[in-house]
Chains A and B, each alone.
Chain A
Amino acid sequence: MSNDLMLLREMGESLDPPIGEPPADLRRRVLTGALAMRGRRFRAVRSVGARLAWGVGALSSVAAVAVAALLLAPSATMIAGHAPPGTNSDPGTAPAELDAGRVFALAAQHLANAPALQARPNQFVYTESIRIGIVHMLESNNQWKRFTEGPDRRRMWESVDGTRNGLVRSHPEGSNGAWQSSVIPGCRDGRAPGAQDRPNVTVSCEPFPAVATGLPTDPDKMLSYLYRPGPYEDADWNRGVPADQLAFERIPYVLYLAKLSPAVQAAVFQAAARIPGVTVSPNVVDLAGRHGIGVARTGRNIRAELLFDEQTYAYLGVNYLDVGPVPVVNTTVDTTGLRYGEAILRVAVVDRTGQMP
């Protein structure tokens, strides 16, 4: 070996850590981080919906002592006493006249008088949804192949304060197959259960509450909030994407964070009405087969579409569609079709994981 490389290698050895193994805390840190991502399964792929996994819409004034449930179906909204907003006595023709600002205004109005859903720190937020996502895999012929994951029906119980173990169950939509379960590790006193393969190990952590606090209820502040990058965003993926598109794509995630607060959700919609470049499609269908109004913005060849009930303007979920070549790692793949979709069916507060509302 040449002298220079040899000296360099010896220099390297002289700089080695005193103990060969990395610190034990590092393993905990990595696996906790990975576990925290696990609840957002589709984040593993570069699909926009991945980090915009949740949202919630309608509200209910019906709150039982133990179980407060809200259904997002129009009938539930009617039961809850919120008449469809707006003046569209003939909803069959009204959507054609709508612009995006009007849809958002109606969605905000729908939430205006709805009470917040109360939850104690020791309770769980139950969310039921149907989800679909895609994964790109590089095949041995060097071609990227697109695989679809789902649609799956998912039932999730998230700890309100993040300190208790939550639960996710899912199975293919329409199947009678067994539900696959996994635990969302709760974080108590800075410690969480370790990976499933090491039941006796705990890891350091920070609680991830099911309900975010401190989100703006003022539309101006919410608009600024939507234009700021969130903690889980991928800077590479977002590089060069117009700020208006990024703000629009953040809406579902903020709605997810605000799933028990109609005031915050209303602020989201009021702020969203001021994002330029948004269009309306009168008749869209979500993963659950519900027909609604789509409000969409297209950027980076992805059409991000928020779905609203066509009668009540309750938020139903999202569809993200590829409309042209989309980057995958260091290349682009020309695909079209649904990239990510989620239909939110039900959000409720319950006392225990596994408890149905």
Chain B
Amino acid sequence: MAVVTQPPVEADAAVIRDSLAEPDRFAELYDRYAAQLYRYAYRRVGAGPAEDVVAETFLAAFQKRGSYDQARPDARPWLFGILTRELARHHRAERAHLRALSRAVPEHPDAGPADRVADRVAAHESRPALASALAALAAGDRDVLLLVAWGDLSYEETAAAMGIAIGTVRSRLHRARRKVRAALGDTDPTHEMEDDQ
């Protein structure tokens, strides 16, 4: 049997370091992360601004790559941090996006697998309330909540992305979720958050 040896995948940090001498290698970082950054930005600000935000993020990353912390092999939190800062410059677009979502009349989505239908209906019906709640959050709280919920960043990664302490991540997340729960009709302020990481 032929043994196929895969070339080792270089850590992001090495790609970034090498791109200082060979700027074209920066394309690898784009190919690794563009899709997830774009999806996240698309969710937050919609189609048009998302393209601008992602382009600005990668260009800012390219400019700052000389100061990348080589002790961090995974560049994903770094890129999400830059993305978050770029999103902040598009806060008007995000506000308009959330306003539109908060006004959307709930509609019944196409039926999916049977056991998902109820959830999806619930999600769809809750969308205006969630959008209103997100719009009402402080920017830093919203960033933390959505990096966790939509960006799938861990608490540690969120802290690294935003340049804040992990305790601050927890407190912001706690505050944001309490407000979201209230918007969803949960009036019990002592409600346990059972899935803290």
Contacts and interface: CB of A to CB of B under 8 A. Distances in A.
Interface of A: 1-12, 14-17, 20-23, 25-27, 29-31, 33-35, 37-38, 41, 43-46, 135-140, 142, 144, 195-198, 234, 328-330
A234 B163 contact: no
B27 A31 contact: yes
A38 B22 CA distance: 9
B70 A22 contact: no
Contact of B145 (A8, A27, A43): A8
Given A5-B195, A12-B150, A198-B27, 16 more contacts: A4-B181, A4-B184, A4-B186, A6-B119, A7-B123, A8-B145, A16-B42, A26-B34, A26-B51, A29-B51, A30-B58, A33-B58, A34-B23, A41-B23, A137-B70, A197-B25
B163 A43 contact: no
Contacts of A10: 119-120, 122-123
A8 B67 contact: no
Contacts of A25: 51
Contacts of B140: none
B4 interface: no
30 contacts: A2-B177, A2-B195, A7-B184, A8-B130, A9-B150, A10-B119, A11-B123, A12-B149, A16-B42, A17-B50, A22-B35, A22-B38, A26-B34, A30-B59, A31-B30, A33-B59, A33-B62, A34-B59, A38-B23, A44-B64, A44-B65, A44-B66, A46-B66, A135-B66, A137-B68, A137-B70, A140-B70, A196-B24, A197-B24, A330-B163
B195 A4 contact: no
Given A5-B195, A137-B70, A234-B63, A195 B27 contact: yes
A329 B186 CA distance: 42
B51 A138 contact: no
Interface in B118-139: 119-120, 122-124, 126-127, 130-131
A17 B109 CA distance: 16
Nearest to B182: A4
Q: Which of B54, B67, B126 has the most CB of A within 10 A?
A: B67
A102 to B, nearest CB: 38
B66 A136 contact: yes
Given A10-B123, A11-B126, A17 B47 contact: yes
Contacts of B184: 3-4, 7
Contacts of A41: 23
Contact of B30 (A7, A15, A30): A30
B126 A7 contact: yes
Contacts of B127: 11, 14
Contacts of A196: 24
**At the interface, is chain B mostly helix, strand, loop or mixed?**
helix
Given A23-B51, A26-B54, A33-B55, A329 B130 contact: no
A1 B38 CA distance: 25
Interface string B154-197: 00000000010000000000000100110010100000011100
B84 to A, nearest CB: 14
Given A2-B194, A15-B43, A195-B27, A34 B62 contact: yes
Contact of A136 (B67, B145, B148, B194): B67
Contacts of B120: 10, 14
A179 to B, nearest CB: 15
Q: Which of A25, A31, A328 has the most CB of B within 10 A?
A: A31
B192 to A, nearest CB: 9
Q: Which of A7, A33, A328 has the most CB of B within 10 A?
A: A7
A45 B35 CA distance: 26
B55 A26 contact: yes
B74 interface: no
Contacts of A21: 35, 38
- What 4 A-B pairs have minimum CB-CB distances, sorted nearest first? A10-B123, A22-B38, A45-B66, A138-B69
Contacts of A15: 42-43, 101
Contacts of A11: 123, 126-127, 130-131
A184 B164 CA distance: 40
Contacts of B64: 44, 46, 329
Given A26-B34, A34-B62, A8 B69 contact: no
A3 B50 CA distance: 28
B26 interface: yes
A8 B180 contact: yes
A139 B35 contact: no
A43 B59 CA distance: 12
